[in-house]
Amino acid sequence: MKKLVVVIVAVFIGSVVPQLILAQGDAAAGQAKSALCATCHGNDGNSELAVNPKLAGQNASYMVKQLIDFKSGVRPSPTMAAMVLSLSDQDMQDIAAWYASQQVTLGGAEPAALELGASLYRAGNKELKVAACSACHSPTGQGNAPAGFPALGGQHAEYTLQQLKDFRSGVRQNDTSSMMRSIVERLTDRELEALASYVSGLN
């Protein structure tokens, strides 16, 4: 019976988690392959423009999933779709490994939004039944790589805010089980702005 359970679990995991995500990337190879990515995301993954996400220190498994989603169209973006069109599975793994190995630079939260942002991130909103962000993204903002939850600490506030709004409006729908959409749909612009500001300085 135990063997049967193990086999069923193994088959289930294999069907849910793409083999690509289970593979390993080569950071050195990824550095060479990331030359085009660096145009928008910076040589070390710390983009200078706040509309472009920082990739430095991001969980590799999360990055690979996003690249797959851009390539398949599950996460719509004409720019990124063109960038990933020629990338192989191994290219994605290597590039993700390179950026994951880099150190993200931190921003600074707006003092006026600090208290609200910290409260939402660490405790959520009980009245609205909104879970704490830290439950999935960790108290330090490092995310949860095995679960596929991204690191948020140090990310540009402008970029984070746009993603939160895109989840809320339904423009972005590549969150597992609509998890992000079900959370942000109950939050106001002010609350989303406070959260985005807070995580930019989180470490």
Structure-model confidence comparison of residues 69 and 9, the more confident one: 69
User: Measuring CA to CA, which residue among 97, 191, 196 is closest to residue 153?
Assistant: 196
* Span 108-131, average pLDDT: 94
pLDDT averaged over every residue in the chain: 90
Contact (CB, 8 A) for 70 and 80: yes
Assigned fold of 111-200: Cytochrome Bc1 Complex; Chain D, domain 2 (1.10.760)
| pLDDT value, residue 3 | 42
* Span 45-69, average pLDDT: 98
How far is 58 from 171, CA to CA, in rounded Å?
22
pLDDT digits (tens, 9 = 90+) for 135-168: 999 999 999 999 999 999 999 999 999 999 999 9
How far is 133 from 32, CA to CA, in rounded Å?
34
| pLDDT value, residue 16 | 42
CA 109 to the chain's CA centroid? 19
Residue 195 has pLDDT above 60, yes or no: yes
Local confidence band at 2 (pLDDT 50, 70, 90 cut-offs): very low
Q: Map out the domains of the chain as residue ranges.
A: 18-100, 111-200
**Cα-based torsion angle of the residue sequence 132, 191, 178, 165 in order, rounded to the nearest 10 degrees:** -150
For the chain, what percent of residues have pLDDT higher than 70? 89
How far is 70 from 74, CA to CA, in rounded Å?
6
**Both structure tokens of 30:** 């990824």
Contact (CB, 8 A) for 56 and 151: no
Q: Which of 17-21, 107-111, 155-159 has the lowest mean pLDDT?
A: 17-21
Check whether domain 18-100 has CATH 1.10.760.10, yes or no = yes
| pLDDT value, residue 23 | 60
Q: At what angle do helices 60-72 and 89-100 cross, to 10 degrees?
A: 140
How far are the Cα atoms of 90, 99, 167 from residue 161, in angstroms, in the given order? 31, 22, 10
How far is 20 from 18, CA to CA, in rounded Å?
5
pLDDT digits (tens, 9 = 90+) for 175-185: 999 999 999 99
Do 18-100 and 111-200 agree at the fold level?
Answer: yes
- Output the DSSP codes for 76-115: --HHHHHHHTT--HHHHHHHHHHHHTSPPPP----HHHHH
